[in-house]
Amino acid sequence: MAELDNTKDANDYGIGIPVKQHPFFLKGLEHAEWGMKDRLSRIFNPLSGNTVMLAFDHGYIMGPTSGLERMDLTITPLIEYADCIMCTRGALRSIVPPTSNKPVSLRYSAGTTVLTELNDECLLDIEDAIRVNASALAIMVAIGSEFEAVTIKNLVRTADMGAKYGIPTLGVTAVGKDLVRDSRYLGLASRICAENGATFVKTYFCETGFEQVVAACPVPIVIAGGKKLPENEALEFAYQAIQQGAAGVDMGRNVFQSEHPIAMIQAVRAVVHDKRTPKDALDLYNTLKHQK
């Protein structure tokens, strides 16, 4: 306890100076709780308002995907360039050094794999998410699939659990075999995620109407990368997505399957954070790829 004798009197009350307000920088999240905002401010850069998330959770449904056979060799060196990593708890504990101190978007639902029908999923235990200090809980939401209701229930339960502990929920819009990735579907799926409690949404970019997908989603959208494309094309669609209002990327294969993943993630950062053009970013990629 502080000494009671000879203490300095409190007299600096700043009378007349209004209390400074700190508006929150992410769309639709002004009224989120403090812990939630703290975690979101680690995932999204408050200066650019955007994030470069590195996704390497593919193995949980696909097994040893190309580029992820030895995550210790391919992913660990990339972590320092990401703002946030998206992975399973298995990968986290095996190959992510805790000293990297990166916010983790933890894959929080799991179930069927590519060998059967995807998306019949259950949830992990919130205690384990807290144990690994998750900054977000990522949930697959399969609108229009036979497991639509299961995945929406998973989202709702996760959003409730996340709200209890101040952990944001990332609604990940899955695309089934028979669903088209057009703005009508992506707009519907993203909006449903947000309305059911997702703090932010991961969806795909589409050539036509993406601006409307973003506009009609009341919380931030980050885009998935999808299948590996030539570097210039991946940088182009990342650029288009950011120009049309996306708050970042959650990219996997277009980074770790690139011939030069460390150069590629830095080129993606230039587009996402510095608003560099795809041409500038490609030049950066071509310069960095020769560096050791």
Catalytic residue among 202, 227, 275, 279, which? 202
Any bridge partners for residue 223, and if so which? 203, 249
CB of 16 to ligand 5RP, least distance (A): 52
* Token pair belonging to 105: 């978007």
* Token pair belonging to 234: 């991946």
Q: Would you tell me how many other CB atoms lie within 10 Å of the CB of residue 151?
A: 25
CB of 86 to ligand 5RP, least distance (A): 6
141, 171, 185, 193 from 196: Cα distances, Å: 11, 9, 17, 5
CB of 257 to ligand 5RP, least distance (A): 8
**Residue 20 appears among annotated catalytic residues:** no
Site residues for ligand 5RP per CB under 6 A: 55, 57-58, 86, 172, 174, 224-226, 250-254
| CB closer to ligand 5RP out of 37 and 217 | 217
CB of 225 to ligand 5RP, least distance (A): 3
- Cβ atoms 214, 201 nearer than 8 A: no
Rounded Cα distance between 103 and 53, Å, is 9
* Token pair belonging to 289: 């790829």
| CB closer to ligand 5RP out of 57 and 236 | 57
Name the strand (E) or helix (H) holding 221: strand 221-224
* Token pair belonging to 143: 């609108």
| CB closer to ligand 5RP out of 37 and 57 | 57
* Token pair belonging to 125: 């235990």
Question: Secondary structure of the chain: what % helix, strand, coil (to 5)?
Answer: 40, 15, 45
CB of 126 to ligand 5RP, least distance (A): 20
| CB closer to ligand 5RP out of 45 and 203 | 203
| CB closer to ligand 5RP out of 37 and 203 | 203
Active site positions, annotated: 202
